[in-house]
Homo-oligomer: A and B are copies of this chain.
């Protein structure tokens, strides 16, 4: 686990979108972030106090988290001076970038010299077991998607927040880099070796109280040719009691695969349920989460009403409407 609280490094992020990791931490775990550190020319602002490294330390920060996706995948020289100084001052560093902190000679040397840790959350740090398929105690909800990037992480985080608000027992279980940085731990599933994928999810979501919910972050889609194997490993390793189907209704083709149409909601439901019932004969699909950001409010409400009638399940946009009705459905499982 990455030590919290964090100081969020926004660097020279060209715009707000480039700082989406930092924004995610601020939105979902504000108690994990004491402030933001911005370099000259930074075009992003996640609404936290601007701090120097020294001010961050005073405010209790333990880890400097790279909360920005840089262009071209490089850790720029502009950043380096700050990152080395942070290590010298006693910060750990955490990053989800493709190029690894540990592969940068100066950062590795500074970390070693100062006894600090470099967390490269893009790659696993654990030797995961092979899945044993055994039933675990506690309840599990998995978000599955008609496509990649359909709102699965957002949906799970929103459900987790609503459950906590209601005093229910819940844990968001991160399976991607952003989710891991938000919560401080998880499995970077896309980087796990094939044979250990399902086992890594069993490891991530162990036995728990009977009334505890793990909200497992979904990845990819059973219908996405590039990543479907990862999605199936989540269903079989997660053995969800409840599934929520996530959908973005304005996509004209599967993400990154021009010419490949999205499955219908019915087909996506049937496929996911066939696979989920193999793992857990009591699995149920309990709701549809629709990302309506590209629809007007009026169109969104009409679309949600139509989906709800066709599918016979609550259909909600958790961003616009909150996750309350999805949590109602889960509480009834």
Residues of A within 8 A of B (CB): 130-133, 189-195, 197-199, 222-223, 225-233, 236-237, 239, 254, 256-257, 260, 263, 270-271, 274-275, 278-279
> Does A191 contact B193, Cβ atoms closer than 8 Å?
yes
Cα separation A133 to B220 with both chains bound (whole Å): 14
Copies in the complex: 2
The 9 closest A-B pairs by CB, nearest first: A133-B225, A229-B233, A229-B229, A131-B226, A190-B195, A225-B236, A232-B232, A229-B232, A133-B257
> Does B193 contact A225, Cβ atoms closer than 8 Å?
no
Q: Given A257-B132, A263-B278, A271-B274, is A228 in contact with B194 using a C-beta cutoff of 8 Å? A: no
Q: In the complex, which residues of chain B have a beta carbon less than 8 angstroms from the beta carbon of A133?
A: 225-226, 254, 257, 260
> Does B229 contact A198, Cβ atoms closer than 8 Å?
yes
> Does B237 contact A233, Cβ atoms closer than 8 Å?
no
Q: In the complex, which residues of chain B have a beta carbon less than 8 angstroms from the beta carbon of A193?
A: 190-194
Cα separation A25 to B231 with both chains bound (whole Å): 35
Cα separation A190 to B228 with both chains bound (whole Å): 15
Q: Given A191-B194, A193-B194, A260-B133, is A232 in contact with B228 using a C-beta cutoff of 8 Å? A: yes
- Closest Cβ of chain B to A218, distance in Å, is 13
- Closest Cβ of chain B to A136, distance in Å, is 12
> Does A198 contact B222, Cβ atoms closer than 8 Å?
no
- Closest Cβ of chain B to A274, distance in Å, is 6
> Does B274 contact A225, Cβ atoms closer than 8 Å?
no
Q: In the complex, which residues of chain B have a beta carbon less than 8 angstroms from the beta carbon of A194?
A: 189-194, 197, 229-230, 233
Cα separation A64 to B132 with both chains bound (whole Å): 36
- Closest Cβ of chain B to A124, distance in Å, is 10
- Closest Cβ of chain B to A15, distance in Å, is 26
Most-contacted residue by chain B among A195, A229, A256, A275 (CB, 10 A): A229
Cα separation A275 to B231 with both chains bound (whole Å): 13
Cα separation A189 to B274 with both chains bound (whole Å): 25
Q: Given A271-B274, A278-B223, is A197 in contact with B132 using a C-beta cutoff of 8 Å? A: no
Q: In the complex, which residues of chain B have a beta carbon less than 8 angstroms from the beta carbon of A271?
A: 274-275, 278
